[in-house]
Amino acid sequence: MNNFFQFLLHFIFIATFLFVYVIAIILLKPFRLHRKRKVSTVALKISYLIYLAFFLAFVYLVLFFADSEVNTEENMDNGTSVIYYIIVLVSFFIPNIGIMIRRRFKKNREKFNYLVTGFNFLIILALVFMMSQVRWDF
């Protein structure tokens, strides 16, 4: 019975994350080209979707497969978990805010698109680094 509930919990999270991802694709329309800013707009949207996939995968893995046996007091003493929390908070807010406010930039929108695309890829690298540092319990 316990395995069934665990499977159901995994299924609910995966279905919810896939739903969020599909809604993001529908709302962003990633291959709809802008007349003036074709490359920067597509780069921003694609980098956001790649970021979202990594972020949702990271959250899922941490929720279900992070090794809970690891002594967190050691990590708190040397400050790495505080840095990880800050990275996760920044990685949640910066790309989402960037994709939401992109239309408010009229004059420098192309530069803004490239800047946020760069941040998205930096955050993806940070998430990959954090994934490599966590002890997984599969």
d(CA 60, CA 68): 14
Q: What phi, psi does 66 have (nearest 5°)?
A: -70, 140
For the stretch 59-70, pLDDT in tens is 999 888 887 655
Domain ranges of the chain: 2-133
- Report helix, strand or coil for 134: coil
Q: Give CA–CA dist 19/28, Å, rounded.
A: 14
What tens digit of pLDDT does each residue of 22-68 get?
A: 999 999 888 887 778 888 899 999 999 999 999 999 999 988 888 76
Phi, psi of 100 (to 5 degrees): -80, -35
Q: Which two tokens stand for residue 40?
A: 């920067």
